A and B are shown apart, each in its own frame.
Chain A
Amino acid sequence: MSGLPPYASFTQKLWHYAFRVICGVVFFFLIAPIIVIIPLSFNAEDFFTFTPEMLALDPDGYSLKHYNDFFTNPDWQQAMWNSIRIAPMATLLSVSFGTLAAIGLSQPHVPFRRAIMAMLISPMIVPLIISAAGMYFFYSRIGLQGSYWGVVLAHAALGIPFVIITVTATLVGFDRSLTRAAANLGANPVTTFAKVQMPLILPGVISGGLFAFITSFDEVVVVLFVGSAGQKTLPWQMFTGLREQISPTILAVATILVTVSVVLLATIEILRRRSERLRGMSPG
């Protein structure tokens, strides 16, 4: 595939290039919708398409007014602060419980490992609408519906599978003789964990945390049901905006979020490489 042999027939050549064109089209389909909103968000008009001025690259066709709206409109600001208040708390909960459990699960002898694993992974499998429905019913019974902690707990539950998966994956390559060596040299279990085990699995913990963070930060279905107007998050505000009166501010918000996800993606990729290097699984 990588190269075409010199003896390739005409049909082979034709297919070779046709295939690349097909793949190019699919890549275009994947990436274009995300790229296209970036220039559109700088539109000087309230339109959702390229104006003739924009196509002519006239500076008057572009403006920052939609960004300005995002940073001054109280609705959007409130939503942004709610997201910033909810996501880190949910992440903190999922990471602390999740890491502990992942360490427990990677011990050689865990009773009912399969059943426990299935239960802990289930928030990722069950469709969000069903989780949202169940949480809505149950949280309104116990008075958590419509409260900050209700949303945080719900989001923490949704983030846990990601932490479990990434941390257990890091622990697969963990050399257990290191903890034994530490214990042999007189470290107590807490010191062993803090000084030996934790630094080695930290990349996995952080990337699990980032997954949990993005899950909560992006999540809209559950917060729509479990939250009340006081917990309106950024995705919720976008959802309302898209459903009712779609305003171009959404495109500015979308562009900001794309930037955030590019940064997160890069961080995770760097962490993954670092973790593999630490565990000696790849030459780096």
Chain B
Amino acid sequence: MTAIDSPVLTADGTPLKASLRRALRREKARAFLLVAPLLLFVLLTFIAPIADMLFRSVENGIVHDTIPRTVQALRNWEPEESGAPGDDVFEAFYTDMVFAVERKSHTRLGSRLNYERTGLASLFRKSGRRVGKFDTKDYADAFKALDPAWEDPATWDVLAGSEAASLPRTASAHATWLEAVQADGSDPLEEEPWDVLYAALYADLMQAPAGGFGNPLLNDAQSAAAQLEPVSLSEQFGAIDEDWLDPEVWRTIQTYAARYTPGYFLNSVDLKLTAGGVQYRDEGDRIYILLFGRTLYMSLVITISCILLGYPVAFLLANLPLRTANILMILVLLPFWTSLLVRTSSWKVLLQQQGVINDILVALRIVDDASRLILINNQTGTIIAMTHILLPFMILPLYSVMKTIPPTYVRAAKSLGATDWTAFWRVYFPNSVPGIGAGSVLVFILAIGYYITPELVGGTRGVFISNRIAYHISSSLNWGLAAALGTILLFAVLILYWTYDRIVGIDNVKLGG
């Protein structure tokens, strides 16, 4: 036995390798345990909300949840067929609408579909008021006259259980009816059956083979139903509004019936989903491409102005003696630390037509009193204020890169005969490019997601995509579209951030110089 063959053992006799591995594992576990609470916290308070937003940008359950029977019935309807769908669709839609109105969810569905086809919101609202007063009351009266048992909710309860297979519509309508009545807080055994149940029963009886029921009550009802004057539901809906007979309306419902839709994303880039495929929106509705373009363009202008203003300052700071530079640095850090709203309000005050800047210009006779400059509530205002707000984010990374350029490089270039300009342009500037890159990406990332400043000084022409997102969340309540716009913006930022990470590295993010 030689020392080389046998494994090295620790004092307690376990092999050293295993012991070290265990120690490493324990150390890893301890490090992870320290990080875990925060990870969980961020996951719940931040990552989950972002995931929720991504989910909402494609989620479209509302059509399916509000009018499930109609969605089912529309599956068999060919959109190419001219004219409105058949009575089976209207029957399903009638049942769905009655319950949707009871839950008051029809207006929400209307506003959802209104994003895709203008006019549907008012159509649904209007129909909601009338759908309870359809001529289907005739069916109810006829059945009740035939046998008083039909007035008893217990009859329906029994039939929906025992005859569910032969009365599918009735059974499903009855189930939803029970939910609706219970949600209302009433006793289902006391509530008088609604007209919609009789309509469903009528439809079921007309579909079933004559006299095929085991229950005499149903056979009687069936023969009575055959004598009844049929109520055309498509006519009833048509009487509310002609639009219900327009196949385009039904095509829209059919197109947006799916639980998940690319519709919001298409909307974000001025496209829309139609039965015939993806199409451009009407000329007047195309605003998002313009808005994305404007956001990018203005962010670019802001970034470039930050480079132009920040570069000389960073250069000066990096080349002055440390003591002087530190004092001048305060002039950069103070704006950096001052509340964003303070700076925005200050610009709002300065840039007004009766504000300080215009007053000075008038006093210096540069501008006539009658023709004061309009510096606010337009793109100029946004660009000036945002350049001021984001300038420290350009100066700080530029400064830290310039600090690392050895002054000997420029001196060497000069001693080799370069003029001041050549020495700067061929030697110093290329060395400072990483700083420009880092600062630009940082400023650009911050600029494209800005909300407060454009909202306050941008007017209508100086706003960004983020203002539109806020508008859709709080005013138009089109959350899906807001989520889709946000998702696009988020991915743009993540790509830029990835670039930033490649140039600078996340670990090198420094705060306040």
Between A47, A217, A220, A225, the greatest number of chain B beta carbons within 10 A of the residue's beta carbon is seen for A220
Find chain A residues with CB under 8 A from B342 CB.
34, 37, 238, 254, 257-258
In-complex Cβ contact of A220 among B38, B52, B340 (8 A)? B340
Contact between chains at B486 and A130 (CB < 8 Å): yes
Say yes or no: is B304 at the interface (Cβ < 8 Å to chain A): no
Max count, chain B CB within 10 A of own CB: residue among A30, A136, A156, A268: A30
Q: Which of the residues A19, A29, A50 comes within 8 Å of B388, measured between beta carbons?
A: A29
In this assembly, does B121 line the interface, its C-beta being within 8 Å of a C-beta of chain A?
no
Interface residue count on the A side (C-beta < 8 Å):
92
Q: Do A239 and B452 have beta carbons less than 8 Å apart?
A: yes
Q: Does A33 lie within 8 Å of B506, measured CB to CB?
A: no
Q: How far is the CB of A171 from chain B (nearest CB, A)?
A: 12
The yes or no answer to A133 lying at the interface (CB within 8 A) is yes
Point out the residue from B34, B320, B339, B497 that lies within 8 Å of A254, measured CB to CB: B339
Q: Which of A19, A40, A217, A221 gathers the greatest number of chain B CB atoms within 10 Å?
A: A221
Residue A107 CB within 8 A of the other chain? yes
Residue B16 CB within 8 A of the other chain: no
- Determine the chain B residues whose CB is within 8 A of the CB of A122 once the complex forms: 42, 46-47
User: Which of B51, B355, B469 has a CB less than 8 Å from the CB of A49?
Assistant: B355
Name the residue on A nearest B340 (C-beta).
A218
Kindly list chain B residues whose C-beta atoms are within 8 Å of the C-beta of A165: 509-511
Per a CB cutoff under 8 Å, which of A107, A118, A242, A268 touches B31?
A107
* Residues of B contacting A250 in the complex (Cβ-Cβ under 8 angstroms): 345
Residues in B whose Cβ lies below 8 Å from that of A131: 46, 49-50
The residues in B between 310 and 360 inclusive whose CB is less than 8 angstroms from any CB of A are 310, 312-313, 315-316, 319-321, 328, 330-335, 337-350, 352, 354-356, 359
Interface membership of B27, Cβ < 8 A = yes
Q: Is the CB of B45 within 8 A of A100?
A: no
Number of residues from B at the complex interface, CB < 8 A: 93
In contact, B39 and A109 (Cβ under 8 angstroms): no
A153 to B339: give the CA distance in the assembly, Å: 21
State the majority secondary structure of interface residues on A.
helix
B33 partner residues in chain A, CB cutoff 8 A: 104
Among A128, A137, A165, the one with the most B-chain Cβ atoms within 10 Å of its Cβ is A137
Residues of the B chain whose Cβ atoms lie less than 8 Å from the Cβ of A169: 510
Smallest CB separation, A266 vs chain B (Å)? 9
What are 15 A-B pairs at a CB distance below 8 A? A26-B310, A30-B335, A100-B38, A111-B31, A117-B507, A129-B469, A133-B469, A137-B56, A138-B53, A165-B510, A211-B511, A238-B342, A254-B339, A262-B337, A265-B334
- A contact set with B: CB distance below 8 Å: 1-2, 12, 15, 19-20, 22-23, 26-27, 29-31, 33-34, 36-37, 40, 47-50, 93, 97-98, 100-101, 103-105, 107-111, 116-123, 125-139, 141, 153-154, 156-157, 160, 162, 165-166, 169, 211, 214, 217-218, 220-221, 225, 235, 238-239, 242-243, 246, 250-251, 254, 257-258, 261-262, 264-265, 268, 272
